[in-house]
Amino acid sequence: MQMQTLAQQPARMIWVTFRKEGMHKYPAALTDPKLATRDEYDVSFLGYLHRHTFHFKVAIEVFHDDRDIEFIQFQRWLLSLYSQDILQNDFKSCEMMSDDLYAQITKRYPNRKVEIDISEDGENGAHAVYEKVAV
């Protein structure tokens, strides 16, 4: 009986995706011996300015199954954070961008679990899980 009740009340999240072009560099890559290895693992090129298309996937907890947060409106609002220069993705790591984005999301949608994936060119990236914070 308890299993049936749990199945009727799942934890729910919705997610949206979007892409933003950005420029960044990782200056430490030029001199840190763990990064500038001079072998097949060398990533010193990351120390120079380079372009990426950052791929975002943002999931947020919802409390019912009928558009508690509407996908398209949520996506448009997230994009507006960048188009209105509230947030910037230049010269930041994926982890930094995730933390900045979460700070804005939790102001508008408090006390919800949020998961954010940000990748460089859809290839390598970061996944962050932000648990509920009671207000």
- Return the domain boundaries, the chain: 7-23+52-130
- What would the mean pLDDT of 85-97 be, rounded to a whole number? 93
Q: Where are the alpha helices (DSSP H) in the chain?
A: 2-8, 71-83, 94-108
Q: Report the sign of the C-alpha dihedral through residues 48, 79, 119, 122, in that order.
A: negative
Backbone angles phi, psi at 34, to 5 degrees: -75, -20
Mean pLDDT, to the nearest integer, of 56-84? 96
Quote the pLDDT of residue 5.
58
Longest CA span, the chain: 62
Question: Tokens in use for 89?
Answer: 């993705």
Tens digit of pLDDT for each residue in 17-33?
999 999 999 999 999 99
Cβ–Cβ < 8 Å for 94, 119? yes
Is residue 4 over pLDDT 80? no
Fold of 7-23+52-130: Tetrahydropterin Synthase; Chain A (3.30.479)
pLDDT at 3 over 60: no
pTM of the model: 0.89
pLDDT reading at 6 higher than 90: no
